[in-house]
Amino acid sequence: MLYPQENRFRTARDLSGYWSLRLDPKDEGVRRAFFRGIGAGTPIAVPASYNDQLEGARDYLGPVWYETELTPPRGKDGDSVFLRFGSVNYLAEVWLNGKRAGKHEGGHLPFELEITKLVVQGKNRLVVRVDGALAPDRVPPGNVPADPKDAFGGQAFPPASFDFFPYAGIQREVHCYTTPRGRLDDVTVVTRIRGKTGIVEVTASTAGQGSVRATLEGFGRRISGAASLARGKARIVLEVPSAKLWAPGSPHLYTLAVERLRDGAPEDEVSLAVGIRTIEVRGDRLLLNGRPIALRGFGRHEDFPITGRTLPPAVVVRDFENLRWIGANSFRTTHYPYSESMLDLADRLGFLVIAETPAVGLFFKPEGLDKRRALCRAFTQELIQRDKNHPSVVMWSLANEPHSHRPAAAGFFRELAKLAKKLDPTRPVTLVSYLGAGEAAFDAMDVVCVNRYFGWYTESGEIERGVAKLDGELDRIHRRFKKPLILSEFGADAIAGCHADPPEMFSEEYQAELIERYLALLEKKSYVVGAHVWNLCDFKTAQGVMRPGGINHKGVFTRDRRPKLAAHRIRARWRGARRAGP
């Protein structure tokens, strides 16, 4: 899905700012026609979760009503006008001037609604109803009755089946934008390498007759090609001699301009950044541009005080600065797609991203399973459609820690892996499991990702015993699946400022010692292609006996981005001895 852009054919307006909000605890807003105007509302910042902005709204998960005034950008006669929401969590229904524009289910992924026939020049009233409720047939699920076999339900408030706060609201930018009559609907870029030549294959989709021209510029080169449209598509292959490849440390980006032509005259144009790189699995290795690569990095959250699930740009910049400082080259978008601007920066700065769907805490009891399956297919499709052109995205993660004990799980993920590879045959697919050798779904994956907390949740207080247990188990998992393995989560809670010598649980020393011992073990495993510490930063969770102050303290940085002892020790390791290993 193309991000809104402004050029000679297109206009876009960002609707960020102060909207009005009204809680609707009795769910009477539709009956009282709030969609014609919500009446008495309170100022609310968009984009941002609403939970921490308003007194008394923290644990309220909807429905809420948003309202703002929209003056559309001035396009040309015959243009189409769209509304695009970067993310609304969880269910959004949209009205313009009292008329229904559409709806979308699922947070963290964009959706757009055409409003050409609803919008007027001048002032329009935009109203959005948001329902952030937790439910067993949603993805991610919540309000799931506790059942040790299926879900760690019941012990958190709000009752999420996942370990992060269920922030809700309009959490990413909203744009109103226009496209010309003969608009480009989509562009897909695939890159290959032949010797020193980069191959950039551009596929453009658009309706009607005519042709498409693609022009790639960068590093003193300007290479152009064109192709006629056939059945709504045009495919152009550009060859780049002595190409500057994209990789961490040298994230070379070209600029691609794609024009839609009719009788030789341009009618529409979009531009995007292109990184020439390849990613593939070969035996036990993960190869970037044909060379073994190891992922050093973190699981994270889009999480910050007051703004909730929305990271202010300055915090995004700070997080990348901290990732560079510590010597990381990678992160996983745990446990949901991150913002497009975050991935644009990962492209520019050279980070390897495992892009994950919002499927966390999935369980496979028959009730609601068909709905969860349909949502997982939709979200996988929406994720790949949104992020397929980012060179930084090197792998798709279909889920985090599904409760795969039930037989239905393996088939569920086999189908999902097939869908992902059909949509994007160029990237490896993975699943992140806590089952390990018992995760039958790994048979359908290209890479095996495992989360392990030996020495924390089990072997508590005994790092040595935990590491020894991990040593044997990783080998067992590799013997079973014979695929590259990423330890996608490991770590320990450390309350910043809590110190103990000898180390003891919840002290910074214990966290640092455990992480260092894990990293030392992973360096010895030739089939380990990645180490992602859990977590880059402390983050907000639901309330529960394991989360003091409603915070998960496994960050190696605090929630306000200050380094703990573990951050310094990891930095010494990752920046001290540069090697291929994680």
Which residues are marked as active site? 401, 489
Tell me the one-letter amino acid at 538. Answer: D
Give the integer Cα–Cα distance in Å for 61 and 564: 33
Site map (CB under 6 A) of ligand ADA, residues 524-553, x = contact: ----------x-----------------x-
> Beta strands 111-114 and 80-85: pairing type?
antiparallel
Give the integer Cα–Cα distance in Å for 73 and 466: 59
* Least separation in angstroms between CB 261 and ligand ADA: 48
* Least separation in angstroms between CB 135 and ligand ADA: 20
Interface size with ligand ADA, residues (CB under 6 A): 9
In the complex with ligand ADA, which residue's Cβ is closer, 150 or 401? 401
Instruction: Read off the tokens for 240.
Output: 């780049």
Site map (CB under 6 A) of ligand ADA, residues 129-168, x = contact: ----------------------------------x-----
* Least separation in angstroms between CB 376 and ligand ADA: 17
- Residue 445 has, within 13 A of its CA and on its CB side, a CA count of 30
Instruction: Read off the tokens for 322.
Output: 């901290």
Site map (CB under 6 A) of ligand ADA, residues 492-511, x = contact: --------------------
In the complex with ligand ADA, which residue's Cβ is closer, 83 or 445? 445
* Least separation in angstroms between CB 532 and ligand ADA: 11
Q: In what order do the strands lie in the sheet with 64-70?
A: 42-46, 17-23, 64-70, 124-131, 91-96, 99-105
What ranges make up the beta strands (E) of 145-220? 169-170, 174-179, 184-194, 197-206, 211-218
Contacts of ligand ADA in 208-247 (CB under 6 A): none
- Contact assessment for residue 554 and residue 535, using Cβ atoms and an 8 Å cutoff: yes
- Contact assessment for residue 65 and residue 77, using Cβ atoms and an 8 Å cutoff: no
Residue with tokens 């292109």: 274
Residue 294, helix vs strand vs coil: coil
Of the candidates 241, 244, 242, the residue with the CA atom closest to the CA atom of residue 255: 244
Site map (CB under 6 A) of ligand ADA, residues 329-368, x = contact: ------x---------------------------------
* Least separation in angstroms between CB 425 and ligand ADA: 28
What residues pair up with 534 in beta bridges, in sequence order?
Answer: 299
In the complex with ligand ADA, which residue's Cβ is closer, 166 or 198? 166
Tell me the one-letter amino acid at 560. Answer: D
- Contact assessment for residue 176 and residue 15, using Cβ atoms and an 8 Å cutoff: yes
* Least separation in angstroms between CB 217 and ligand ADA: 42
Residue 422, helix vs strand vs coil: helix
* Least separation in angstroms between CB 30 and ligand ADA: 35
Say if residue 582 is preceded by a cis peptide, omega within 30 of 0.
no
Residue with tokens 């190696």: 556
Rounded-to-5 percentages of helix, strand, coil across the chain:
20, 35, 45
Q: Which helix (H) or strand (E) holds 465?
A: helix 463-481
Q: In what order do the strands lie in the sheet with 221-228?
A: 221-228, 211-218, 254-262, 265-274
Please tell me whether residue 191 binds ligand ADA under the rule CB under 6 A.
no
User: Which residue has its beta carbon closest to ligand ADA?
Assistant: 163
Give the integer Cα–Cα distance in Å for 85 and 114: 12
In the complex with ligand ADA, which residue's Cβ is closer, 386 or 554? 554
**Which residue among 554, 559, 564, 569 contacts ligand ADA (CB under 6 A)?**
554
* Least separation in angstroms between CB 538 and ligand ADA: 11
In the complex with ligand ADA, which residue's Cβ is closer, 356 or 424? 356
Instruction: Read off the tokens for 276.
Output: 């020439």
* Least separation in angstroms between CB 453 and ligand ADA: 6
Please tell me whether residue 451 binds ligand ADA under the rule CB under 6 A.
yes
What does each C-alpha distance from 255 to 28, 265, 275, 319 come to in angstroms?
50, 21, 9, 26
In the complex with ligand ADA, which residue's Cβ is closer, 178 or 552? 552
* Least separation in angstroms between CB 27 and ligand ADA: 31
Contacts of ligand ADA in 361-420 (CB under 6 A): 400-401
In the complex with ligand ADA, which residue's Cβ is closer, 391 or 555? 555
Please tell me whether residue 489 binds ligand ADA under the rule CB under 6 A.
yes
Is the Cα torsion angle 134, 136, 138, 139 positive or negative in sign?
positive
Give the integer Cα–Cα distance in Å for 529 and 296: 9
In the complex with ligand ADA, which residue's Cβ is closer, 478 or 553? 553
Instruction: Read off the tokens for 355.
Output: 């892009």
In the complex with ligand ADA, which residue's Cβ is closer, 51 or 161? 161
In the complex with ligand ADA, which residue's Cβ is closer, 138 or 260? 138
Q: Which residues would be at the binding site for ligand ADA (CB under 6 A)?
A: 163, 335, 400-401, 451, 489, 534, 552, 554
